[in-house]
Structure formats: C-alpha cells, structure tokens
Amino acid sequence: MAVKEEIIEIKSAIYLKDYQIRLSFNDGKSRTVDFGDFLKNSHNPMIKKFLKKSLFQDYTIKYGDLVWGDYEMCFPIWDLYEGKIS
C-alpha cells in the first residue's frame, strides 16, 4: 500500500503585532513566526522596506505560500512550518 504524502500549505495568516504572524497549515499545525530579526538584519533594500509596518502587513497567501507584493518577499514553506527563517 502506497503512503500518500501531504503537501504542506498555509491556510491562514493572521497579523499579531510588530513583525509577528500566526500561520495555520493544512495539517492543523499553527505557528507564530517573528520576521523582525530577519528584516532588521537584512542588507537588501528590497527586503528592508518591509520594516514599514503598512508594507509588512500587506501580505497574501498564494498557492499555499505567504507572499509580499509580486513575490518580492517569500520564504520556503518548510522554514515557516518550522518557525525558523533566515
């Protein structure tokens, strides 16, 4: 009997405060991810602009991924699932 592997996707994302977003995944797991250190330590001006909270809060879920703008900023789904972004 073959084992069906489930593709992990983000089902919902709720802005909490500062640079924290609560993610819920299609397998029922939830995780709060803090993007603050990543944004503050980035040397890329295209990433640093998301320190402006109005831009940071303007994310969407596309095809199960958390995305800002036209994929200006996104992260590997497994990193978000583990809560470890870099």
Strands (E), 2-78: 10-17, 20-25, 30-34, 59-62, 65-68, 73-74
Round to whole Å and give the CA distance between 41 and 39: 6
Taking only the tens place, the pLDDT of each residue in 19-56 is: 999 999 999 999 999 999 999 999 999 999 999 999 99
Model confidence, pTM? 0.89
pLDDT band per the 50, 70, 90 thresholds, residue 4? low
Query: What per-residue confidence (pLDDT) applies to 51?
Result: 97
Round to whole Å and give the CA distance between 7 and 51: 31
The domains found in the chain, sorted by start residue, are: 18-82 (3.30.2020)
**Residue 7 dihedral angles phi and psi, to the nearest 5°:** -85, 125
- Residue 45 sits at the vertex; the CA angle it makes with 32 and 78, to the nearest 5 degrees, is 30
